[in-house]
Amino acid sequence: MEALNYFRKHSNYGVLFLRVAIGVFLIYGVLDNILSWERMLEFRDFLQAHGMPFPLFSAHVSVYVQFACGLMLLLGAAVRLAGILMIVNFLVAIVLVHLGQNFPEYYPAAQLIAVGFFFLFNGAGPVSVDALWEDKTKKTLYRQVHVK
């Protein structure tokens, strides 16, 4: 089928859709904590109740890491780093909060770990700041080697 061949040929663009969906999800999930000090304090209390050390500091780190990852994914900038940060952040969430919960309760955090691994292994794709940076770096290296 011709349509399937088109999508197969351009499969590396599929990561763009995943980046946008997850980027929006991450930003939306923490925007209330960023815009409202009361919501940040609620998150601090939540972390404290689950035994997280330095709960206010930890709340800020978690919120701003998720926000930064969302922006990185939307721009396609440092997406492999975003993947690592997502893996660490949501592994902590699973260990601290979700152990012992049922599947629907821990699945979103587990899914974000899996997505983090996807971005770590696959990068940002061709429509991204990372791709522009890589192309610019390759051209610069090519000029340094071949143009003297």
Q: What is the pLDDT of residue 146?
A: 60
DSSP string, 66-91: HHHHHHHHHHTSSHHHHHHHHHHHHH
More confident residue, 113 or 135: 113
- What are φ and ψ of residue 48, in 5° steps? -65, -40
Model pLDDT for residues 83-101, shown as the tens digit of each residue = 999 999 999 999 998 888 8
Angle in degrees, CA 60, 61, 66, rounded to 5: 100
- Which two structure tokens, joined as six digits, stand for 80? 């492999």
Label residue 139 by pLDDT band (50, 70, 90): low
Q: How far apart are the C-alpha atoms of 9 and 4, rounded to whole Å?
A: 8
Does residue 147 carry a pLDDT above 70?
no
Average pLDDT across the chain, whole number: 91
User: In Å, what is the CA distance from 46 to each residue of 23, 41, 51?
Assistant: 24, 9, 9
pTM, two decimals, is 0.85
